[in-house]
Amino acid sequence: MKIIAIGRNYAAHARELGNQVPGEPLIFMKPSTAVIDSGRPFIYPPFSGDVHYELEVIVEISRRGKNISRKNYLEYFDRISLGIDFTARDLQKKCKEKGRPWEIAKAFDGSAAIGQWIDQSSFDFQNLHFELLKNGKPVQKGHTAAMIFPLDDLMEYISKFFTLEPGDIIFTGTPEGVGPVTPGDHLRGLLEGKNILNCEIKGP
């Protein structure tokens, strides 16, 4: 499986990192070794001193798709959840300055926490509220209606370049409020008020 993730898909978050709002989706990938299964801890990596959380709504692809038309996008996933796109912000900053790809900052082992999967048919994907609590305190609040590129556009765009296969996961971007984690922190993700993601930060 692969993870396809979207950068800068919420205008306020693009601005908080000093980035332009993109004219077309910004895509990067994470390999299967990035996945942290539901409830497992994040192990703080020794190569970074500034790992950030980014809470995102995620979907799991259920059907092979290439050149998906946006009007059929609902046929390609059955389950949704929340994920955390852990980002080594210090490494990402260096990569950006040097014009290099982001993989070491975004796709390292254990950089993608996954919550419990929920049947998507019980929700309207374009109208989901989600929230991240760090040590019980709200730090990020998002609403999928605020995406710059909604999921139907994203699936059409992504599948032009990459065949989507069952088990692949799309991370749909993070709203504003990203920030650092330190060992001992506990992250909780809420989707429509329901706690479906839990992740403890542990030291190396």
* Nearest by Cα to 140 from 96, 99, 201, 197: 197
Q: At its nearest, how many Å lie between Zn ion and the CB of residue 164? A: 18
Q: At its nearest, how many Å lie between Zn ion and the CB of residue 5? A: 6
Q: Which CB sits closer to Zn ion, 76 or 102?
A: 102
Q: At its nearest, how many Å lie between Zn ion and the CB of residue 26? A: 10
The helix/strand/coil state of 141 is strand
Are residues 187 and 133 in contact, defined by beta-carbon separation less than 8 angstroms?
yes
The alpha carbon of 48 is separated from its chain's Cα centroid by a whole number of angstroms, namely 19
Q: Which CB sits closer to Zn ion, 33 or 72?
A: 33
- DSSP bridge pairs for 132: 140, 189
Q: Which residues bind Zn ion (CB under 5 A)?
A: 54, 85, 174
Q: Cα dihedral angle (37, 203, 53, 45), rounded to 10 degrees?
A: -90
The helix/strand/coil state of 195 is strand
Q: Which CB sits closer to Zn ion, 92 or 174?
A: 174
Question: Which DSSP state fits 45?
Answer: P
Q: At its nearest, how many Å lie between Zn ion and the CB of residue 97? A: 19
Task: Count other C-beta atoms under 10 Å from residue 48's C-beta.
Answer: 18
Q: Which CB sits closer to Zn ion, 21 or 74?
A: 21
Q: At its nearest, how many Å lie between Zn ion and the CB of residue 8? A: 9
Q: Which CB sits closer to Zn ion, 30 or 66?
A: 30
* Nearest by Cα to 155 from 37, 70, 63, 50: 70
The residue behind tokens 């799309």 is 170
